[in-house]
Amino acid sequence: MSIAEFFIYLFAFGIFLYSVTLVSFYILIGFNSIGATRKYLHKNDFTDYRILAASPHAPTVSILAPAYNEGATIVDNVRSLLSLYYNRLELVVINDGSKDDSLQRLIDAYELEKVDFYVNSRIPTKEVRGVYKTKHPAYNKLVVVDKENGGKADALNVGINIASNDYIICIDADCILEQDAILKMVKPFMEEQDAKVIASGGVIRIANSCEVTDGRITKVQLPENYWACMQALEYIRAFLLGRMAWARLDGLLLISGAFGAFDKEIAIQCGGYNVHTVGEDMELVVRMRRYMCELGVPYKVTYIPDPLCWTEAPDSAKILMRQRNRWTRGTIETLRLHKTMFLNPRYDLLGVVSYPYWFFFEMMAPLVEFIGLVVFFIMVFMGMINWHMFIIFLVFIILFGYVNSIFAIYMEVTSYNQYNKRKEIRRLVLAALSEPFLFHPFVVWSAIRGYIDYFRKSKNWGEMTRKGFSKRPETKPAE
């Protein structure tokens, strides 16, 4: 065996080992998600959340909704958020230096007045230009903050500084929340026993093609657009399988920035959102967990499988690529910032399982696949491929991917069954079948672009043009 052959053989064996470990993790995740989802559904089968809505003993909650150039939809979005079913609620809308008329629209619609407000800047942020409130009794839960543009993380930090309540729920202003979303998100914090619940995540669903009336989803439909449909499948897999399972194993590292609840005091003690990363949502969860581990205080991060938050997914390859590029950079930045946790038993399961899983199978996966492809072509060129074995391997891996996706669809149908038409399930299955040939290579390539941008030190958030639920253009803050 020549040296070149030896290295290539070593590489091939590494890839095989990698695949086997990944497959084992997916099986573990699958089984755990069944247990976690079943328990949650049984547990809350006849829970009466209305008790919490009106109780004076319920915990106080502040919703933080950062907005940038969302003038076209901001008034409706705020109205929708104000109608959420929860008494002890405060809605903090942070206008992150929008260049459009977002602020003026809010002032006009909700009869806002600038008030004297002492901002206790426990987390350093860009300057707050003003705080607005209204005397209108119907909107007394609303606080609008106008600040200099500093990006989403900075806007959320201002929200944390301003929030007067014990728990914060960070959302994207353009998301649609279910009426009982706050009640369901708050319940896990109230169920804590030996371990303090520091954060709770909720499932995000794709709202493309859904019918929306008065800021509410009135009819759920699978997205017509291929890219959005693929993301619907991906979200089912990620949220219903991945995050539920990781939450059950107490190893959850990511709560989506579009909808997550946190213990405010812990978030502040950790320094709030990191403004130097584009993956601020994951970074905060990792930092909070790390902080609790280092303090030696028992804690928990929980997850709710109910579809509570609906968002519009990118429906063009260009926008999707930007999003995946940013997610990759966010993951690399977060894992790098907390590299001390890697295989560190001090952080328990987080250090020895969750972090390595994210490192090897979330962060490194696109790289491994890409390098694998390059090596494959080299081997073809050198005539080193055993085509028989190659085809068997390929079919094995593709089929396992299919099993995983079909299992996710099965879980969706047997639990929440949001897509309840046979036609929709057929489309989801077809989407799953097409994934290895179209969507997956695209996602891998986007991630590789993310790697390149990361090494170029790009901090671009990436413009996220969205069509809106009803003809509404919207942009996310850019650097």
Partner 1 sequence: MNNQQYIDPEALIIFIYIFGGLMVCMILLTFIFLRARKKKWMIKKQLDEIFDNWLGEWILEDLNEDTQLSIPPTLVDTPGNAYSRQYAVDQLINTKKNLIGIAGQNTVWLYEKLGLKKISLDNFHSRQWFLKAKGIYELYMMEQKDMQDELFPYTNSSNEYVRTEAQTAILAFEGFEGLRFFNTLTHPITNWQQIKLMEQLRPLDPPGIFEDMPNWLQSSNPMVVQFALKLAGEYQQFQVLDCVYKCLGSEHPAIREQAIIALVRMGDETSASAIIERYNNETKNNKQTILRSLYHVASTNELPFLLEVYETGDGDTKLLAARAIAHIGPAGMERLAAKGQEQPEPYEQIYLHIKSEIAR
Q: 234 and 222 in contact (C-beta within 8 Å)?
A: no
Closest to partner 1 by CB, 145 or 409: 409
Provide, rounded to whole angstroms, the least separation between the CB of residue 426 and partner 1: 9
Task: Give Cα separations from 139 to 79, 102, 131, 136, 182 (angstroms).
Answer: 9, 17, 15, 6, 18
**Closest of 212, 431, 221, 224 to residue 315, by C-alpha:** 224
Closest to partner 1 by CB, 340 or 417: 417
Q: 288 and 267 in contact (C-beta within 8 Å)?
A: yes
Which range, of 206-214, 295-303, 379-387, 445-453, touches partner 1 by CB under 8 A?
Answer: 379-387
Residues 6+ apart with CB under 8 A from 266: 196, 198, 288, 291, 292
Q: Is 135 in the site for partner 1 (CB under 8 A)?
A: yes
Q: Is 248 in the site for partner 1 (CB under 8 A)?
A: no
Provide, rounded to whole angstroms, the least separation between the CB of residue 184 and partner 1: 12
| Of residues 271-310, those binding partner 1 (CB under 8 A) | none
Q: Is 335 in the site for partner 1 (CB under 8 A)?
A: no
Which range, of 87-95, 191-199, 241-249, 441-449, touches partner 1 by CB under 8 A?
Answer: 191-199
**Intra-chain end-to-end CA distance of the chain, in Å:** 53
Q: Is 9 in the site for partner 1 (CB under 8 A)?
A: yes
Residue linked to tokens 């008494």? 87
The single residue among 343, 373, 389, 452 that binds partner 1, judged by CB under 8 A, is 389
Dig out the tokens for 404 from the structure: 């995983």
Provide, rounded to whole angstroms, the least separation between the CB of residue 45 and partner 1: 7
Residue 24: count other Cβ atoms within 10 Å of its Cβ: 10
The single residue among 7, 35, 55, 276 that binds partner 1, judged by CB under 8 A, is 55
The single residue among 180, 192, 250, 348 that binds partner 1, judged by CB under 8 A, is 192
Q: Is 195 in the site for partner 1 (CB under 8 A)?
A: no
Q: Is 115 in the site for partner 1 (CB under 8 A)?
A: yes
The single residue among 63, 220, 409, 431 that binds partner 1, judged by CB under 8 A, is 409
Closest to partner 1 by CB, 43 or 129: 43
Q: Is 170 in the site for partner 1 (CB under 8 A)?
A: no
The single residue among 3, 45, 318, 457 that binds partner 1, judged by CB under 8 A, is 45
Residue linked to tokens 């299955």? 429
In which order are the strands placed within the sheet that holds 196-206? Answer: 112-115, 128-134, 142-147, 89-96, 61-67, 167-171, 259-263, 196-206, 299-311, 176-177
The single residue among 25, 360, 370, 400 that binds partner 1, judged by CB under 8 A, is 400
3-class DSSP assignment, residue 179: coil
Any idea how long the chain is? 479
Residues 6+ apart with CB under 8 A from 200: 185, 188, 189, 255, 260, 261, 262, 301, 302, 303, 304
3-class DSSP assignment, residue 205: strand
Q: Is 410 in the site for partner 1 (CB under 8 A)?
A: yes
How far apart are the C-alpha atoms of 399 and 388, rounded to whole Å?
17
Question: Beta-strand (E) ranges in 196-258?
Answer: 196-206, 211-213, 216-219
- Number of residues in contact with partner 1 under rule CB under 8 A: 57
Q: Is 116 in the site for partner 1 (CB under 8 A)?
A: yes
Residue linked to tokens 């899983």? 357
Closest to partner 1 by CB, 132 or 469: 132
How far apart are the C-alpha atoms of 34 and 37, rounded to whole Å?
5
Site mask, partner 1, residues 422-441, x = CB under 8 A? Answer: x--x---x------------
3-class DSSP assignment, residue 186: helix
How far apart are the C-alpha atoms of 212 and 1, rounded to whole Å?
64
Provide, rounded to whole angstroms, the least separation between the CB of residue 201 and partner 1: 18
Closest to partner 1 by CB, 45 or 214: 45
How far apart are the C-alpha atoms of 42 and 171, rounded to whole Å?
28
Q: Is 190 in the site for partner 1 (CB under 8 A)?
A: yes
Q: Is 16 in the site for partner 1 (CB under 8 A)?
A: yes
Provide, rounded to whole angstroms, the least separation between the CB of residue 158 and partner 1: 14
Q: Is 413 in the site for partner 1 (CB under 8 A)?
A: yes
Site residues (vs partner 1, CB under 8 A): 5, 8-9, 12-13, 16, 42-43, 45-46, 48, 51-52, 55, 57-59, 115-118, 120-122, 133, 135, 187, 190-193, 265, 379, 384-386, 388-389, 392-393, 395-396, 399-400, 402-403, 406-407, 409-410, 413-414, 417, 420, 422, 425, 429
